[in-house]
A and B are shown apart, each in its own frame.
Chain A
Amino acid sequence: MKQLNKLLMIAFIAASFAFPCYASKIIMEGSTTVLPIAQRAAEVYMDNNRGVDISVRGGGSSVGIASLIDGTCDIADASRAIKSSELEKAISNGQDPVAHVVAMDGIAVIVNPSNKFSALSKKEVKAIFTGQISDWSQLGKGSGKIVAISRDSASGTYEAFGELVLEKQKPRADALLQASNQAVAQTVARTPGAIGYVGLGYVNSSVKALEIDGVMPSRETVLAGTYPVGRPLFMYTNGKPQGEIKDFMDFIKSAQGQEIAEGEGFVGLK
């Protein structure tokens, strides 16, 4: 048994060195918001270019950027711009992160379809999420306790929402913090008194997106900048992209790549 075990071990180690890594392998890592675009783009790109191997990891914007700084990934997905502390660290590590805007994301405020509201002002949304308003009746229509659903206090979406809508005020402490956009959408779909916010890509028929300040979140309004809660999505590369990475980045920025972003519910740049 011991011998067998040893043999297996040796065979395994030998095997792991015998197969060299792909010459053109791209590792993408980062924001879960950008993940659907990254995944779908990688899938289509690999279909068109046999012999290229792309792996897509989630983890979060910070994990992606940290990996880029450490040189363990080629493309870092991020739903926020790189922070100055991260940039300093990258530079001292001899890296040079270059930002590419790959799509726009509108953050839609969503409620359960049974909700009587179809529009709120940014002020009202802020009042709800900071805890000044806690019952729907306080807004004049409907009744029942408001269940505020927020993203994780550590996610990019949370930060963007906090900056754009809450103007850096703290959200109410009893808001449900969900670990992902999808979890927010699912919870809102299931909960009559709920209000939440998700990336435009996660709005589906099971929830109702609200007009904010009279503007419906949509492709046009986000691109035009009239919808007040929009933000760019980034991919960071180390230096100007070259070789296979450049081809891939060009693909994402191409009409076909932007169509993918649209297909996943984001706003393409073209």
Chain B
Amino acid sequence: MKERIIKWFFTVLAFASLVFLVGIIIVLFKEGMPIFKTVSVQEFLFGKSWYPTFVPAEFGILPLLLASLWVSMGAMLICVPLGVGSALYLNEIASPRQKSLLKPLVEILASIPSIVYGFFGMVILAPFLQDLLHLPIGLCAFTASLVLGIMATPTVCSIAEDALSYVPRAFKEASFAVGANRWQTLVKVTIPAAGSGISTAIILGMSRAIGETMTVLMVAGGAAAIPRSFFDPVRPMTAAIASEMGEAPMGGEHYHALFAIALILFLITFVFNIIAEIASRRYRIKLGLSG
């Protein structure tokens, strides 16, 4: 009897994550949907101007949406080579001693709080890049991409490294046996074998970059205009939510619009996570690991 009570106790608590996730979805829908009474979904997603406080207000989030994608794409250009490259280094070149030193350092890079990255980007990197590249403004999509890229690198590196380490030794030995050198083995055998594991890493890195808030709020510049170049200041969705929530009258259109943005953001990361989930499951099955 006692055993059964205990089992039930754990079962109930185990549902906590599901409850919170569902709670988040409900809140976002409940607070976000009312905006679609004022604007259509199409106008909201593809409207080109975001003037939430004007009379009449305009709620087109295309500039914010593009800004998020723009900045995350830029971050990907940095964190994919850096993260995957570092993972390959750790997996292929580093001696066990080097590895035991470098891996914790990468983890430490991951544990630096986003506000510190934001501060670093705002007071050090932005002025530096502005002088170096003669930009009209240092706080722009480029700087934000750079900082986000650095932030996402450890995420990509750790997961990709895990994936690489699961590749069975026999794969590599077979490759060496037919006369391939280490680089050829890496490119032709190890990377394809770990392929979906590495794509999981990249997708999760992307998901992290798109959802990052404080850094882009401090570094991206904040202009709600459709970005035309990497050096334009932009206003990603997360930054819009964090900075405007305080000034949006509770229960008003602007308030609902911000929740609707959060909903879109949530759906994007949700899709990314599902894809990552599928990719990693496929990977495990492919290598004969448990599902």
Contact = CB atoms under 8 A, between A and B. Distances in A.
Q: Do chains A and B touch in the complex (CB under 8 A)?
A: yes
Contacts of A178: 221-222
Contacts of A257: none
A110 interface: no
Contact of A153 (B138, B139, B224, B233): B224
Contact of B247 (A155, A176, A177, A187): A155
A155 B247 CA distance: 6
Interface in A29-60: 32, 58-60
Interface stretch (A167-175, A225-233, A244-252): A167-175
A62 interface: yes
A176 B233 CA distance: 6
Contacts of B49: 170, 173
A190 interface: yes
B168 to A, nearest CB: 38
Contact of B55 (A32, A158, A168): A168
B91 interface: no
A145 interface: yes
A191 B136 contact: yes
A61 B245 CA distance: 11
A222 interface: no
Nearest to B135: A191
Interface stretch (B9-17, B100-108, B190-198, B249-257): B249-257
Contacts, number: 97
B217 A179 contact: yes
B127 interface: yes
Interface in A138-173: 145, 147, 152-156, 158-159, 162, 168, 170, 173
B109 interface: no
B54 to A, nearest CB: 7
Nearest to A70: B250
B50 interface: yes
Interface string B243-273: 1111111111010000000000000000000
B223 interface: yes
Nearest to B252: A85
Contacts of A175: 223, 225
A58 B242 CA distance: 13
A26 interface: no
B248 to A, nearest CB: 6
A137 B287 CA distance: 66
Contacts of B254: 154
B252 A152 contact: no
A212 interface: no
Contacts of B54: 153, 162, 168, 170
B137 interface: yes
Given A65-B249, A158-B53, A179-B217, A147 B225 contact: no
B46 interface: no
Nearest to A193: B136
Contacts of B221: 176-178
A62 B233 contact: no
What are the 5 tightest A-B residue pairs by CB atom distance, in nearest-first order? A60-B246, A60-B247, A154-B247, A173-B225, A154-B244
Given A60-B246, A177-B222, A191-B137, A153 B51 contact: yes
